[in-house]
C-alpha cells in the first residue's frame, strides 16, 4: 500500500506523514510515486500498441507528475494552451498530445499547430471552421478528431456528466455525419478520428461500452460515406472508490473494448485516464486548529479549506478523513470544516473522528482535482506539493508566499 499505518503512524511509502508535515507545513499535498506507476501500469498492461494512453492533464498538472508519466511513454490530453506548455516543460512530446475543450481560442489553435500536436478533438461545427482558417493561415493541415456526444447517461454527478445531449460538450450524434463530411471537404483539415467522453467518476464498464457501440456504428457509417477514420478516442472518466465502492475492473473494460473494436477493424483506440492514475496517489494533510463543540453538532476546524480542496463543496464529494496518528480513544461525530469564510467550506460532514488542537488529519484520495482546482480565495496561499519515492521526499511545488499573491497588482495613481 502507498498510504498505510506503521505502529499507529500513517506513512506515504516509507515516509512519515507527520514528519513531512513538520518539515513542509500544512496544508500539504503528498503524492506517491509508486502508486502513480502502479496505476499507469494497470492500463498499459492491457493496452498494446498501436493503442494510445493519453493522461488527462487537468486531473493533476504538477510538472513532477507529468514528468513521471512522460518517462513511461504517456501521451497527454489537454484542454488549454497552458496545459500544452506544461506538458512540454515536463518533458512530454507534442506529437503525443490531443487537445480537447469546447472553446479553443485562435491563439491556442495556432500554438498547438506550431508545436505539432497529434490531433485536435473538435467539439462543434463552428470550431471546425475556425480551425480550418487558422491552419490555412499557418500553411498547415490540422489533424482532427470529432468529439461526438452519444447521449449516454453515465449515472454520475450532474456537474461531471458530459455525454448527455443537454451537456455543452461535443457534437450531437444526429449531426455527426454532416459535420464529418464537412471536415472531409475542408482544405486544411485532416480528418482522422472520432472522440467521446461521457463523464467522470464512472465505476461500471457498461456506460463506456454502450457509448463505444454507438461510436463504432458511426465509424462504419462514415467509412461507408468515404470518410477515413483511423482512430477512436473513448476519453476518460474511469473512477476510483472514494467511499468503499467496488472498483472498476479496468482490464475487463479494456479487453472488451478492444474486442468490439476489432469487429470494425483497422482502428487505433485511445483512452484519456486522469483520476484513475493519480486520484488515490495523493493525500492532503491538514492540522486541527480548534475543536469546537456546538449546540447541534461539533466541529473540527482545520487549516485546509475549500480553496485547497474544492471537491466537497462543489460536488458534495466524499473523501475519507483519517488521523495521521491513530488514537485508541473512542471517536466522536464531527464536521471537518476549514477557515474560509463560507458555510460551504467543509471537507467532511458527520465523521467519526477524535482529534484535538494540533493533531494532523489526512484527506485521502486527493491526488486528482485537488491542487489543480485550488485558489487563493480569502487571500490564502496555495499549499505546497511533495512527492515521495520510497524513503525520499521532495518538494515539487513550493508553498506560495503572501507577497506572491499580489504580484502584478498595483495601486491606481489618481489624477490630480
Q: Which residue in the block uniquely carries the three cell numbers 472488451?
A: 256
Residue 321 DSSP SS3:
strand
CA 183, CA 64: separation in Å to the nearest integer?
37
Residue 156 DSSP SS3:
coil
> Is 382 annotated as ligand-binding?
no
> Is 311 annotated as ligand-binding?
yes
> Is 50 annotated as ligand-binding?
no
* CA dihedral over 109, 111, 113, 116, signed as positive or negative: negative
Closest-CA residue to 371 (of 283, 277, 273): 283
341 a catalytic residue: yes
Strand partners, 353: 332
Q: Grid coordinates in use for 360? A: 494532523
Closest-CA residue to 122 (of 144, 139, 92): 144
Residue 174 DSSP SS3:
helix
> Is 55 annotated as ligand-binding?
no
> Is 182 annotated as ligand-binding?
no
Strand partners, 15: 12
Closest-CA residue to 20 (of 33, 5, 6, 10): 10
68: CB partners within 8 A, 6+ apart: 33, 36, 37
> Is 342 annotated as ligand-binding?
yes
> Is 272 annotated as ligand-binding?
yes
> Is 275 annotated as ligand-binding?
yes
CA 416, CA 394: separation in Å to the nearest integer?
52
Q: Which of the following is catalytic: 15, 54, 196, 341?
A: 341
Residue 126 DSSP SS3:
helix
Which residues does the annotation place in the binding site?
Answer: 237, 272-275, 311, 315, 342, 369
**Residues marked as binding for substrate?**
275, 311, 315, 342, 369
Catalytic residue positions? Answer: 341
- Which residues are known binding-site members for pyridoxal 5'-phosphate? 237, 272-275, 369
Amino acid at each position: 500500500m502507498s498510504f498505510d499505518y506503521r505502529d499507529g503512524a500513517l506513512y506515504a511509502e516509507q515516509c512519515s506523514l507527520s514528519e513531512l508535515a513538520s518539515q513542509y507545513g500544512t496544508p500539504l499535498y503528498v503524492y506517491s510515486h509508486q502508486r502513480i506507476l502502479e496505476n499507469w501500469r494497470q492500463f498499459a498492461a492491457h493496452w498494446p500498441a498501436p493503442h494510445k494512453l493519453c493522461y488527462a492533464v487537468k486531473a493533476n498538472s504538477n510538472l513532477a507528475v507529468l514528468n513521471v508519466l512522460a518517462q513511461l511513454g504517456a501521451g497527454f490530453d489537454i484542454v488549454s494552451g497552458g496545459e500544452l506548455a506544461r506538458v512540454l516543460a515536463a518533458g512530454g512530446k507534442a506529437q503525443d498530445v490531443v487537445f480537447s475543450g469546447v472553446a479553443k481560442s485562435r491563439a491556442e489553435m495556432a500554438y498547438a499547430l506550431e508545436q505539432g500536436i497529434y490531433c485536435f478533438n473538435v467539439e462543434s461545427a463552428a470550431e471546425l471552421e475556425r480551425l480550418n482558417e487558422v491552419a490555412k493561415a499557418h500553411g498547415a493541415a490540422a489533424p482532427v478528431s470529432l468529439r461526438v456526444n452519444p447521449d449516454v447517461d453515465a449515472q454520475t454527478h450532474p456537474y461531471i456528466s458530459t455525454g448527455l445531449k443537454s451537456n455543452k460538450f461535443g457534437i450531437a450524434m444526429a449531426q455527426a455525419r454532416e459535420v464529418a463530411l464537412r471536415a472531409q471537404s475542408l482544405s486544411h483539415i485532416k480528418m482522422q478520428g472520432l472522440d467521446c467522453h461521457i463523464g467522470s467518476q464512472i465505476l461500471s464498464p457498461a456506460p463506456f461500452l454502450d457509448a463505444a457501440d454507438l461510436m463504432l456504428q458511426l465509424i462504419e457509417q462514415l467509412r461507408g460515406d468515404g470518410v477515413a477514420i483511423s482512430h477512436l478516442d473513448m476519453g476518460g472518466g474511469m473512477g476510483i472508490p472514494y467511499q468503499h465502492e467496488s472498483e472498476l475492473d479496468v482490464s475487463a473494460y479494456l479487453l472488451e473494448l478492444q474486442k468490439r473494436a476489432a469487429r470494425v477493424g483497422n482502428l487505433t483506440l485511445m483512452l484519456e485516464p486522469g483520476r484513475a492514475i493519480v486520484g488515490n496517489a495523493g493525500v492532503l494533510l491538514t492540522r486541527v486548529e480548534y475543536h469546537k463543540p456546538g449546540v447541534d453538532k461539533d466541529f473540527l476546524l482545520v487549516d485546509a479549506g475549500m480553496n485547497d480542496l474544492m471537491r466537497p463543496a462543489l460536488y458534495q464529494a466524499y473523501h475519507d478523513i483519517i488521523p495521521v496518528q491513530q488514537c485508541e480513544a473512542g471517536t466522536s461525530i464531527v464536521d471537518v470544516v476549514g477557515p474560509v469564510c463560507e458555510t460551504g467550506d467543509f471537507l467532511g460532514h458527520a465523521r467519526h473522528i477524535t482529534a484535538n488542537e494540533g493533531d494532523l488529519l489526512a484527506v485521502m484520495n486527493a491526488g486528482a482535482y485537488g491542487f489543480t482546482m485550488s485558489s487563493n480565495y480569502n487571500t490564502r496561499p496555495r499549499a505546497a506539493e511533495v512527492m515521495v519515492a520510497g524513503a525520499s521526499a521532495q518538494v515539487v511545488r513550493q508553498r506560495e508566499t503572501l507577497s506572491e499573491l499580489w504580484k502584478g497588482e498595483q495601486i491606481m495613481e489618481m489624477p490630480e
